[in-house]
């Protein structure tokens, strides 16, 4: 019998319908601190939509979302960010004409609650700059700190996407295919960063990832979404061995496995 | 914040060194700005005639008006057509009180404050009710509000003077007849041949008020809030996702810009000693503001200075220049005809097209982008 840690994030019957189509359908699931959950599922399964519901970009049709005991279902995305829910986007979403450093500093500044200061110069907030510098170093973006985000290579933009999430210092980290389109020598850095967050032990990590080797290497737990429904949930080896997973995710017909 | 001052200083110094590596575009821009600043600061001594002082005062006031509009359109990406309405609130507030109470600083202060407050409240209402919706819808709401205000101003003629506007007197200090300094004979003291009278006081009232207001705006865009505004312009979704309440920031900057515009309106009313639809409310002013912000460069603040200066000089002096050109070329065929001052709007249009063509990001914006 495993002692179940109190969940840091819970979704209850979470559902969203677009027209008649349920992109996420009655998903009930809890996530615990220190746990890295990989979410897998074929294209269009509803993984990104599930993230959008949790971080507030989309309002659910039904169901509720809790951060710890706090019901956040009706909170705005910014309020959820302040409550400690952070996410990186599958489609890179940056501030294109601002410098890389400014991009990260904005996230640091939001976390520190300095946004409304209007009569002090940004240069005065040295701790903000130093924190931003640290996150740039961690994501190896120091060399391009003064370039506009739009001028970065695809790989560097993906890194900046992650740097913004790190700079938010949330309790809940949601990564949506963070290494997609990255070169083979860039991806390990991101995975190492995620691994470091896990080592902290107090953070909850949700990761959407397609690459099976990555999934095996990182996951404490795998959940499988299919047509918006939660179809499997468990330890990596167990889930990967499930016939339904082999069939829907790896494309191997169930009878071949059986 | 008092952690390690030495390190903190080193960090700040490092950053200002990075900021000091100026490109040639930046150098040119700063030279132009310094030139404009000197001309405005010394305008009464450099240009003696009444008309030049009028141009200089207009440039000062419009720099504040256009810069406050740049906070909206250039920094935050909010399109509003109600900016002259807020300008008008300040101007009419001061004007109506000056007429009712007679010339006095109390009238300017109380009437101006009432105008500023009205601008703030209306901006907050418009902002809260409609900044959540699509940008185009918001722009329409501001257009509607501004039109309603125009109609109100012309209908409530007992208060506003209707289409004729209001004339009034200003505090004694600012009257041309006032002697600021007198010599032993009781005559006004002259400095570099310029009489130190109330006209000078009025100009420096305008210049210094506008300098302070522009300084406040420079500080705002260099503040944490300034970066948040740009973040909202660049990517609203991500700004919200990292924890900024976009609607609240939008509403706040809309109110802030409205208040700044209203303050500029007060200064303008005091300088002109007349306030009417044509000086403080009309859509023609709104169009001027839009052109100035585009010509100067959106999202730059300094663009306001350049846009306003270029456009005001053109509006006031292009006709003279053309007359001179027509006279000089009188012997030639066709050319004097083209340069006929009656065609000045045509040439103004050509000037705009050329400016937009050669400075697609505005004069300041394009200079700032230029490498080395
Ligand atoms: N805003 C929206 N309006 C209408 N339909 C939507 C919307 N967002 C998502 N969908 C639909 O919901 C379904 C799930 O999409 P989602 O992006 O969540 O899939 P995913 O699992 O992230 O896929 P991928 O692996 O390709 O990223 C898709 O059929 C998509 O077309
Ligand atoms: Mg997706």
Are A117 and A245 part of one and the same domain? no
The verdict on residue A115 lying in a domain is: yes
* Cβ neighbours of B327 (radius 10 Å): 10
Dist CA B131 CA B115 (whole Å)? 23
Three-state SS letters, B144-158 = HHHHHHHHHHHHCHH
Are A94 and A60 part of one and the same domain? no
Distance of CA B35 to the CA centre of its chain: 18
Query: Whole-model pTM?
Result: 0.90
Read off the pLDDT of residues A75-127 as tens digits, 9 standing for 90 and up.
999 999 999 999 999 999 999 999 999 999 999 999 888 888 888 888 888 88
Helical residues (DSSP H) of B21-49, grouped into ranges: 24-41, 43-46
Are A105 and A148 part of one and the same domain? yes
CATH of the domain at A9: 3.40.50.300
Percent of all residues in chain B with a pLDDT value above 70, rounded to a whole number: 94
* DSSP run (H or E) holding B253: helix B246-272
Are A177 and A66 part of one and the same domain? yes
The pLDDT assigned to A239 comes to: 87
Dist CA A223 CA A231 (whole Å)? 8
Q: Give me the sign of the Cα torsion angle A29, A31, A35, A39.
A: positive
CA of A24 to the centre of ligand 1 (A): 9
Percent of all residues in chain B with a pLDDT value above 90, rounded to a whole number: 61
The pLDDT assigned to B48 comes to: 77
CA of B294 to the centre of ligand 1 (A): 39
The greatest distance separating any two alpha carbons of chain B, rounded to the nearest whole angstrom, comes to 77
A116-to-A238, B120, B223 alpha-carbon distances in Å: 49, 18, 9
Are A253 and A129 part of one and the same domain? no
Distance of CA B199 to the CA centre of its chain: 21
Please name which of A31, A89, A29, A24 lies closest in space to residue A55, comparing C-alpha atoms.
A89
By residue range, what is the domain housing residue A157? 89-169
The verdict on residue A22 lying in a domain is: yes
Are B243 and A76 inside 8 Å of each other by CB?
no
Are A140 and A38 part of one and the same domain? no
Chain A: give the shortest CA distance to residue B163, in Å.
39
Choose the final residue of a domain: A147, A169, A191. Answer: A169
B51-to-A154, A230, B47, B274 alpha-carbon distances in Å: 57, 77, 9, 16
Mean of all residue pLDDT scores within chain B:
88
The verdict on residue A188 lying in a domain is: no
Dist CA B220 CA B198 (whole Å)? 33
> In whole angstroms, how large is the CA radius of gyration of chain B?
22
The verdict on residue A191 lying in a domain is: no
Are A59 and A179 part of one and the same domain? yes
Are A106 and B228 inside 8 Å of each other by CB?
yes
The verdict on residue A197 lying in a domain is: no
Q: Identify the band that residue B372 occupies on the pLDDT scale cut at 50, 70 and 90.
A: very low
- Please report where in the chains the tokens 């909206």 appear, as a residue: B72
* DSSP run (H or E) holding B194: strand B194-195
Q: Which residue of A has its CA nearest to B236?
A: A95
Q: Which of residues 14-73 of A touch B (CB under 8 A)?
A: 55, 57
Please name which of B355, B364, B273, B275 lies closest in space to residue B314, comparing C-alpha atoms.
B355
Are A162 and A241 part of one and the same domain? no
Are A75 and A131 part of one and the same domain? no
The verdict on residue A18 lying in a domain is: yes
Taking a C-beta distance cutoff of 8 angstroms, is the pair B240, B91 a contact?
no
Taking a C-beta distance cutoff of 8 angstroms, is the pair A142, A136 a contact?
yes
Taking a C-beta distance cutoff of 8 angstroms, is the pair B241, B91 a contact?
no
Dist CA B245 CA B234 (whole Å)? 15
Are A248 and A148 part of one and the same domain? no
CA of A200 to the centre of ligand 2 (A): 27
Read off the pLDDT of residues B39-68 as tens digits, 9 standing for 90 and up.
999 988 888 788 899 999 999 999 999 999
Nearest ligand (C-alpha, residue A39): 1
Are A54 and A114 part of one and the same domain? no
What's the CATH code, domain B31-368?
A: 1.10.3470
Read off the pLDDT of residues B157-216 as tens digits, 9 standing for 90 and up.
888 888 899 999 888 788 877 777 777 777 777 777 777 788 889 999 999 999 999 999
Q: Identify the band that residue B239 occupies on the pLDDT scale cut at 50, 70 and 90.
A: very high
The verdict on residue A164 lying in a domain is: yes
**Residues, chain B, total?**
372
Are B238 and A164 inside 8 Å of each other by CB?
yes
* Residues in B touching A89 (Cβ below 8 Å): 238, 241
Instruction: Dig out the tokens for B335 from the structure.
Output: 């050319």
Look up the ipTM and state it.
0.91
Ligand 1 contacts CB of residue A47 (under 6 A): yes
Dist CA B130 CA A33 (whole Å)? 40
Are A67 and A100 part of one and the same domain? no
* Cβ neighbours of A116 (radius 10 Å): 14
Taking a C-beta distance cutoff of 8 angstroms, is the pair B146, B283 a contact?
yes
The pLDDT assigned to A250 comes to: 61
The structural domains of chain B, with segments of one domain joined by +, span 31-368
Task: Provide the number of structural domains found in chain A.
Answer: 2
């Amino acid at each position: 019998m495993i002692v179940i840690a109190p969940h840091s994030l819970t979704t209850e019957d979470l559902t969203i319908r677009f027209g008649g189509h349920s992109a996420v359908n009655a998903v009930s699931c809890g996530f615990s601190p220190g746990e890295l959950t990989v979410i897998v599922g074929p294209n269009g399964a509803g993984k990104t939509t599930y993230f959008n519901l949790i971080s507030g970009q989309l309002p659910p049709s039904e169901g509720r979302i809790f951060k710890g005991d706090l019901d956040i279902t009706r909170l705005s995305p910014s309020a959820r960010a302040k409550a400690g829910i952070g996410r990186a986007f599958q489609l890179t979403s940056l501030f294109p004409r601002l410098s890389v450093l400014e991009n990260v500093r904005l996230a640091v500044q939001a976390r520190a609650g300095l946004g409304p200061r209007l009569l002090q110069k940004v240069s005065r907030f040295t701790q903000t700059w130093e924190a931003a510098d640290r996150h740039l170093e961690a994501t190896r973006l120091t060399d391009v700190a003064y370039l506009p985000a739009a001028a970065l290579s695809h790989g560097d933009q993906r890194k900046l996407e992650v740097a913004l999430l790190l700079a938010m210092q949330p309790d809940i980290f949601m990564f949506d295919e963070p290494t997609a389109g990255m070169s083979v020598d860039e991806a390990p850095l991101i995975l190492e960063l995620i691994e470091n967050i896990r080592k902290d032990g107090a953070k909850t990590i949700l990761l959407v990832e397609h690459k099976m080797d990555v999934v095996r290497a990182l996951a404490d737990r795998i959940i499988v979404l299919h047509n918006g429904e939660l179809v499997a949930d468990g330890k990596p080896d167990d889930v990967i061995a499930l016939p339904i997973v082999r069939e829907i995710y790896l494309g191997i017909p169930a009878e071949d496995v059986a | 914040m008092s952690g390690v001052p030495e390190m903190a200083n080193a960090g700040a110094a490092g950053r200002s060194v990075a900021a000091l590596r100026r490109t040639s575009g930046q150098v040119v821009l700063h030279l132009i700005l310094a030139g404009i600043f000197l001309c405005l600061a010394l305008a009464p001594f450099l240009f003696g005639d009444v008309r030049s002082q009028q141009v200089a005062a207009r440039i000062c006031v419009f720099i504040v008006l256009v810069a406050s509009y740049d906070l909206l359109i250039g920094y935050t990406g909010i399109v509003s057509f109600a900016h002259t309405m807020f300008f008008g609130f300040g101007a009419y507030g001061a004007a109506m009180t000056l007429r009712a109470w007679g010339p006095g600083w109390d009238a300017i202060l109380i009437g101006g404050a009432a105008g500023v407050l009205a601008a703030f409240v209306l901006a907050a209402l418009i902002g809260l009710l409609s900044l959540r919706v699509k940008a185009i819808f918001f722009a329409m709401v501001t257009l509607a509000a501004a039109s309603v205000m125009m109609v109100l101003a012309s209908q409530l003629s007992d208060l506003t003077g209707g289409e004729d506007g209001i004339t009034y007197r200003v505090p004694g200090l600012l009257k041309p007849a006032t002697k600021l300094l007198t010599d032993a004979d009781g005559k006004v003291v002259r400095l570099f041949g310029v009489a130190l009278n109330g006209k000078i006081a009025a100009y420096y009232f305008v210049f210094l008020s506008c300098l302070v207001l522009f300084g406040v705006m420079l500080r705002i865009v260099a503040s944490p809030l300034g970066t948040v505004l740009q973040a909202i312009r660049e990517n609203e979704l991500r700004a919200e996702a990292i924890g900024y309440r976009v609607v609240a920031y939008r509403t706040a900057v809309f109110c802030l810009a409205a208040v700044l515009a209203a303050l500029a309106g007060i200064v303008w009313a005091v300088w002109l000693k007349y306030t009417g639809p044509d000086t403080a409310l009309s859509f023609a002013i709104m169009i001027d503001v839009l052109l100035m912000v585009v010509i100067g460069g959106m999202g730059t603040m300094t663009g306001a200075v350049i846009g306003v200066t270029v456009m005001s000089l053109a509006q006031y002096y292009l006709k003279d220049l053309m007359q001179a050109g027509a006279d000089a070329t009188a012997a030639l065929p066709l050319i004097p005809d083209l340069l006929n001052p009656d065609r000045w709007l045509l040439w103004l249009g050509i000037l705009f097209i050329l400016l937009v063509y050669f400075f697609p990001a505005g004069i300041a914006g394009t200079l700032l982008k230029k490498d080395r």
